[in-house]
């Protein structure tokens, strides 16, 4: 695709975010200047750099946007995609600001992007691109554990985060907190247990909380609880796979899976792990033996019968064109911006509920926050207190057995006595965050008589960010 054709793409994602912001702002009492400060991107850095390819050069386009500095550092992923553009990066950075505020994570929002298709480059070329991108950020003071902390996003993962961490540490010799310059790292490089599946787990918890509210489910004509709910998931990447996996564990029935090559459907349910392994083996979800229907047009998969639809791929997947054909009663946004404002209006008019992206996919940044704290403290969660917990629990069990005269089995004793591991603590912290945040959003939704959960989430975020800016004041 030529540079001109890429630039000619729709560039209204940031406009959509601002439209939602402006609508929510009407439910607040902040002055126009403060709202403008909250809405605007503080720093937009676009740059180009060359890499060697064969006997020549290739120039790479890249961005890093820091949307809000009401909290430091700023935080946000880095996306590798041939469709990356400035508008998209600005929108994603803004969503990160509101997302962090919604789940009470003390970061400002940021986002990065490199306009490449990773499949077209060798591992060595990708490493060169990633390290050069990091150096460019270092030169402009756009990265650091107290400045701006990247993380994985579409097209990147633990490998790229490792290259970033190593590059930053190399360029900052002796900096004790260098590993805190980026999150989403592998465990061997000071990552944290549970980060890989955190976003998907968070989406599943968000859905569980939504369907657990009897009043809301009654309006949709659905019983409470996930058990037995028919679910379609778009995207079988990191977010989609783990969302589907955990929903299946909660008792949900995954009836459809959509990917860019097509979609599959089975009203009796699909085995998520088996579909994942099938795609890993042949490169496509099509041809999976357990599917009763296949669609070469992936969009058709979104329109099949279900109770819950989870778009967990890219933005603008549910639009005014297809919203009327969506049969789900709940849309849980695992991706950023998958539903356009026009589509949202249509879906709500049909009586549906949308669990907004700013909340639903906040599990990733929540656990990234835990990883950042781990990197700054230089100790794994649970390492210091686990044995202490086990000894206390053992003393308690011995006392209860002595008083009651009842002896527990070895398995029962081991279960009760066992101290908390890092993974258990991380998952506990994530679950608590998602539960509290959902009911905080819903309380705003009910008390302020707001029309959508997205608007309620925006209102809560705006109010929290406004308080931060008011307390900071203006310098000089």
The tens-digit pLDDT sequence of the chain (476 residues) is 344 433 434 568 899 899 999 999 999 999 999 999 999 999 999 999 999 998 999 999 999 999 999 999 999 999 999 999 999 999 999 999 999 999 999 999 999 999 999 999 999 999 999 999 999 999 999 999 999 999 999 899 999 999 999 999 999 999 999 999 999 999 999 999 999 999 999 999 999 999 999 999 999 999 999 999 999 999 999 999 999 999 999 999 999 999 999 999 999 999 999 999 999 999 999 999 999 999 999 999 999 999 999 999 888 899 999 999 999 999 999 998 899 989 999 999 999 999 999 999 999 999 999 999 999 999 999 888 888 888 888 999 999 999 999 999 989 888 888 888 999 999 999 999 999 999 999 999 998 889 899 999 999 999 999 999 999 998 88
Quick check: 379 and 180 in contact, CB under 8 A? Answer: no
Nearest to 252 by CA among 227, 272, 220: 227
Quick check: 427 and 356 in contact, CB under 8 A? Answer: no
Helix (H, G, I), strand (E, B) or coil at 449: coil
Q: Do β-strands 253-259 and 230-234 pair in parallel, antiparallel, or remain unpaired?
A: parallel
CA distance 256 to 30: 44
Residue 234 in tokens: 């778009």
Give CA separation, 449 vs 159, 209, 395, in Å.
46, 20, 51
CA distance 372 to 190: 10
**CA-angle at 27, arms to 23 and 31, nearest 5°:** 90
152: β partners: 78
Q: Given the structure tokens 């949308």, which residue do they identify?
A: 354
Residue 361 CB contacts under 8 Å (≥ 6 apart), including other chains? 99, 199, 202, 203, 239, 312, 333, 334, 335, 336
Nearest to 18 by CA among 291, 244, 237, 341: 341
Nearest to 244 by CA among 201, 286, 279, 282: 201
464 is catalytic: no
Q: Count CB atoms within 10 A of the CB of residue 124.
A: 8
What integer pLDDT is reported at residue 3 of this predicted model?
Answer: 44
CA distance 86 to 98: 19
CA distance 106 to 63: 23
Residue 15 in tokens: 């406009």
What integer pLDDT is reported at residue 14 of this predicted model?
Answer: 93
Q: Do β-strands 293-295 and 262-265 pair in parallel, antiparallel, or remain unpaired?
A: antiparallel
Residue 267 in tokens: 């009203």
Helix (H, G, I), strand (E, B) or coil at 135: helix
Nearest to 421 by CA among 202, 182, 187: 187
CA distance 342 to 318: 9
CA atoms within 13 A on the CB side of 321: 4
- Backbone phi and psi for residue 329, each to the nearest 5 degrees, phi listed first: -100, -15
Catalytic residue among 75, 99, 111, 329: 111
Residue 234 CB contacts under 8 Å (≥ 6 apart), including other chains? 240, 257, 258, 259, 298, 301, 302, 309, 310, 311, 312, 313, 317, 335, 338
108: β partners: 74
Quick check: 61 and 111 in contact, CB under 8 A? Answer: no
Residue 91: its H or E element: helix 86-102
Total count of residues recorded for the chain: 476
Q: Count CB atoms within 10 A of the CB of residue 121.
A: 17
What integer pLDDT is reported at residue 295 of this predicted model?
Answer: 95
CA distance 437 to 445: 12
pTM for the whole structure: 0.91
Helix (H, G, I), strand (E, B) or coil at 74: strand
The DSSP 8-state label assigned to residue 339 in this structure reads B
Quick check: 208 and 196 in contact, CB under 8 A? Answer: no
Give CA separation, 32 vs 28, 67, 187, 268, 323, in Å.
11, 18, 45, 53, 33
CA distance 261 to 275: 14
What integer pLDDT is reported at residue 386 of this predicted model?
Answer: 84
Q: Do β-strands 43-53 and 74-80 pair in parallel, antiparallel, or remain unpaired?
A: unpaired
What integer pLDDT is reported at residue 77 of this predicted model?
Answer: 96
Residue 4 in tokens: 């001109």
Q: How many helices (H) and strands (E) does the chain have?
A: 18, 12
326: β partners: none
């Amino acid at each position: 695709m030529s540079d001109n054709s890429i630039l000619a793409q729709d560039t209204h994602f940031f406009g959509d975010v601002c439209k939602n912001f402006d609508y929510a702002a009407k439910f607040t009492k902040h002055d126009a200047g403060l709202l403008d400060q909250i809405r605007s991107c503080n720093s937009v850095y676009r740059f180009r750099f060359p890499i060697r390819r064969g006997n020549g050069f290739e120039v790479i386009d890249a961005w890093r946007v820091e949307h809000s500095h009401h909290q430091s550092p700023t935080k946000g992923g880095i996306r590798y995609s041939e469709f990356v553009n400035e508008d998209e990066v600005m929108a994603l950075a803004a969503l990160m600001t509101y997302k962090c505020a919604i789940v009470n994570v003390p970061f400002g929002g940021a986002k990065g992007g490199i306009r490449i298709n990773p499949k077209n480059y060798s591992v060595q070329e990708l490493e060169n691109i990633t390290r050069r991108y990091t150096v460019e950020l270092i030169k402009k003071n756009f990265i650091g554990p107290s400045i701006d902390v990247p993380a994985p996003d579409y097209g990147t993962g633990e490998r790229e985060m490792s290259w970033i961490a190593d590059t930053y540490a190399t360029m900052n010799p002796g900096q004790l907190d260098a590993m805190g310059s980026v999150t989403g790292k592998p465990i061997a490089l000071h990552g944290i247990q549970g980060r890989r599946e955190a976003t998907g787990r968070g989406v599943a918890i968000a859905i569980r909380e939504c369907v657990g509210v009897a009043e809301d489910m009654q309006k949709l004509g659905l019983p409470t609880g996930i058990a037995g709910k028919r679910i379609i998931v778009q995207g079988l990447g990191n977010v989609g796979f783990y969302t589907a996996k955990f929903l299946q564990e909660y008792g949900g029935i995954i009836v459809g899976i959509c990917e860019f090559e097509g979609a599959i459907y089975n009203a009796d349910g699909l085995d998520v792990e088996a579909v994942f392994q099938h795609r890993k083996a042949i490169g496509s979800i099509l041809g999976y033996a357990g599917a009763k229907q296949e669609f070469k047009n992936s969009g058709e998969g979104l329109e099949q019968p279900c109770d819950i639809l989870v778009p967990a791929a890219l933005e603008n997947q549910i639009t005014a064109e297809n919203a009327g054909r969506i049969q789900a009663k709940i849309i849980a946004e695992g991706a950023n911006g998958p539903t356009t404002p026009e589509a949202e209006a249509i879906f709500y008019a049909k009586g549906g509920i949308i669990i907004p992206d700013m909340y639903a996919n906040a599990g990733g940044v929540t656990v990234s926050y835990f990883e950042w704290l781990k990197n700054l403290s230089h100790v794994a969660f649970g390492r210091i207190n686990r044995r202490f917990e086990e000894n206390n629990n053992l003393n308690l069990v011995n006392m209860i057995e002595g008083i009651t005269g009842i002896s527990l089995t070895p398995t029962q004793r081991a279960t009760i006595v066992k101290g908390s591991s890092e993974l258990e603590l991380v998952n506990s912290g994530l679950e608590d965050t998602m539960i509290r945040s959902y009911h905080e959003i819903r309380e705003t939704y009910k008390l302020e008589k707001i029309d959508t959960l997205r608007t309620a989430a925006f209102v809560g975020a705006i109010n929290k960010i406004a308080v931060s800016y008011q307390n900071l004041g203006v310098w000089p």
